[in-house]
Amino acid sequence: MTQTDVATVDAVRADIGLVCALPLELAAFLSRCQHVKKYTGGSFTFRGGLYDGIRIAVVESGPGQTRATRATQALLDAHAPKWIISTGFAGALRPELKTGDLVVANRVVMTNGDELSIDVGMEPDAARGLHVGRLLTVDRMVRTIAEKKLLAEQSGALAVEMESFAVATVCQRAKTRCMAIRAISDDLSADLPPEVLSLVGETGAVRFGAVIGSLFKRPSSIKDMWRLREQAAVAADRLAEFLDGIVLQLHQAKP
């Protein structure tokens, strides 16, 4: 391999890869990175850049485990990162978790009892809104407080989302180190509005027609939509702040 070939490979490889379902989830973090470029690979959108000299690659999977599995494999094939982080938003399953709190998974679990262990070596700090524990992956959006409480009883998890078990499974098979880090975007203070179930398309794009349609069908939904937007912004900012330190620590960690 020539020196030119080596330089090309090094430019393609990433130190840390991140898998998120929606662009909004990592928008605040990517705003802190340098030389961010957007490109496509297969049916996925990638964004690559530098964070304090550390090469970052982000793939937007869209919601659900099927797409998360394919996106994680695409990230590994394209960039061979040393670490992969499954990240984005999650719904709280316990009343002590508030919007903007962070959950670092030491286990990712499914409702059928399957689970994977993640050795994070991190202690919780509830006063700072940092929680360490079980993260539940499900195959649909969980909208109501009643559903969340039932899932908490069944799984013992702190929060619920739709991708991390799939990401961790792919990483385990590839022998790639991984973490699952989620910011709470909806707590147990209120149900999510029913319109949220139709707002996000299969690839993670917002269905603007559904947004407009919901306003016509239920004008009061504009208040709910605005509240969701504010909560998402809080969660994205907190996630960006936390990833700042995590990315540096993972980059410095020994194999």
- Return the CATH number at 168: 3.40.50.1580
The per-residue pLDDT for 9 is: 35
Nearest to 17 by CA among 183, 242, 179: 179
* Averaged pLDDT of the chain: 87
Is residue 64, in this structure, part of any structural domain at all?
A: yes
Residue 26 CA to chain centroid, in angstroms? 8
Q: How confident is the model at residue 220 (pLDDT cuts 50, 70, 90)?
A: low
Q: State residue 205's pLDDT score.
A: 54
Q: Given this model, what pLDDT does residue 11 score?
A: 54
In a domain, 215, yes or no: no
User: What pLDDT is attached to residue 207?
Assistant: 46
Which tens digits make up the pLDDT trace of 111-163? 999 999 998 889 999 999 999 999 999 998 898 999 999 999 999 999 999 99
- pLDDT at residue 253, as a whole number: 81
Range of the domain at 10: 3-192+236-252
| Residue 210 belongs to some domain of the structure | no
List Cβ neighbours of 62 (8 Å cut-off, separation of 6 or more): 21, 22, 44, 71, 201, 202, 203, 204
Classify residue 226: in a domain, yes or no.
Answer: no
Q: Within a domain: residue 66?
A: yes
pLDDT at 233 (0 to 100): 92
Q: How many domains does the chain have?
A: 1
In a domain, 202, yes or no: no
The answer to whether residue 56 is domain-embedded is yes
Examine residue 91 and state whether it is found in any structural domain, yes or no. yes
Position 14 pLDDT exceeds 60: yes
pTM: 0.86
What is the percent of the chain where pLDDT is above 70? 83
